[in-house]
C-alpha cells in the first residue's frame, strides 16, 4: 500500500517591514537659522559695494582720469626727445659761436620744458581727484585741493590735444563744478606758449652752456 504523506502548513514569508503611510503628516527638516535667512538676500560682494560708492558719472570720470595718467606717460616721451635734440642744437651753435641762432633755437627747449612741467601738474591733479573721488558727487562740499585740481584740469584740457581722455573728463568736471574756475597761475603760464621773453631765453641758454662747459658772454646780445 502507498505510504501516506502528512502535509504541514509552511510558515509565512517575512518581508521588509513597511511603515504606515504618512498621509497628512508634514516632514520637518532641520531648523533654519533666522539670521541666515534674513541676511541671505542682503549679501553683497566687495566689488558691488565699491561700485555703489560713486555715482555712474563719477565712476566714468575716475576711469577717464586714470587713463589720462597713462596717456601723460606716453605724451612725455616725444617731448623729452624733442627737448634733447633742441638742447643739443643749442650746444652745437654755441660751440660754433653762433649765439643769435642759439637764442632762437632755445625757444624749442623752453616750449618742450614748459609742456613737460604742465604734464607733471596735470598728472598730480588727476591722481588727486582719483584718490578723493568720494568728494566729486558733492562739488559744493569739496576740499580746496579738489577744487584746484578740477579747475586746473578744466583749463588744461582745452590746451592739451594729445590727451583725448582729458577732453572727455573736462565735460564731466565742467558739469559738476562749472566752467568759471580760476586755474593755478603756474599751470596757466606753462600752457600759455610764451617762449619769446629774451630774459628767459638767455637764462636757459646760459644753463645749457654751463652744463656743457661752454664759456658764454651774452652781455652784448640784445
Q: Give dist(CA 59, CA 52) in Å, integer.
A: 9
10-residue block means of pLDDT along the chain (222 residues)? 50 54 52 50 47 79 97 96 97 94 95 95 97 90 92 91 94 86 77 81 94 85 64
pLDDT at 23: 52
**For the chain, which domains are there?**
57-211 (1.20.1260.60)
22-53: b (≥16 Cβ within 10 Å) or e? eeeeeeeeeeeeeeeeeeeeeeeeeeeeeeee
Question: What is the pLDDT at residue 16?
Answer: 54
**What pLDDT was estimated at residue 45?**
47
Q: Which residues of 121-140 are buried (b: 16+ CB within 10 A; e: fewer)?
A: bbbebbebbbeebebbeeee
Residue 48: per-residue pLDDT: 46
Please name which of 84, 150, 143, 92 lies closest in space to residue 113, comparing C-alpha atoms. 84
Confidence (pLDDT) at 131: 95
Q: Residue 1 has what pLDDT?
A: 46
Q: What is the pLDDT of residue 9?
A: 52
Q: What is the pLDDT of residue 183?
A: 72
Amino acid at each position: 500500500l502507498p505510504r501516506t504523506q502528512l502535509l504541514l502548513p509552511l510558515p509565512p514569508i517575512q518581508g521588509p517591514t513597511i511603515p504606515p503611510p504618512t498621509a497628512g503628516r508634514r516632514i520637518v527638516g532641520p531648523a533654519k537659522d533666522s539670521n541666515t535667512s534674513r541676511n541671505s538676500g542682503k549679501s553683497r560682494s566687495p566689488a558691488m559695494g565699491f561700485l555703489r560708492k560713486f555715482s555712474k558719472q563719477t565712476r566714468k570720470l575716475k576711469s577717464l582720469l586714470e587713463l589720462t595718467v597713462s596717456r601723460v606717460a606716453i605724451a612725455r616721451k616725444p617731448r623729452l626727445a624733442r627737448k634733447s635734440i633742441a638742447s643739443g642744437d643749442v650746444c652745437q651753435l654755441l660751440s660754433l659761436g653762433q649765439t643769435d641762432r642759439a637764442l632762437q633755437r632755445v625757444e624749442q627747449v623752453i616750449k618742450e620744458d614748459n609742456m613737460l612741467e604742465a604734464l607733471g601738474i596735470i598728472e598730480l591733479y588727476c591722481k588727486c581727484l582719483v584718490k578723493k573721488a568720494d568728494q566729486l558727487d558733492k562739488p559744493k562740499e569739496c576740499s580746496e585741493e579738489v577744487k584746484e585740481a578740477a579747475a586746473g584740469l578744466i583749463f588744461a584740457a582745452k590746451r592739451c590735444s594729445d590727451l583725448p581722455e582729458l577732453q572727455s573728463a573736462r565735460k564731466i568736471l565742467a558739469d559738476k563744478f562749472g566752467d568759471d574756475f580760476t586755474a593755478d597761475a603756474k599751470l596757466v603760464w606753462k600752457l600759455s606758449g610764451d617762449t619769446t621773453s629774451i630774459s628767459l631765453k638767455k637764462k636757459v641758454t646760459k644753463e645749457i652752456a654751463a652744463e656743457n662747459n661752454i664759456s658764454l658772454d651774452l652781455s652784448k646780445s640784445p
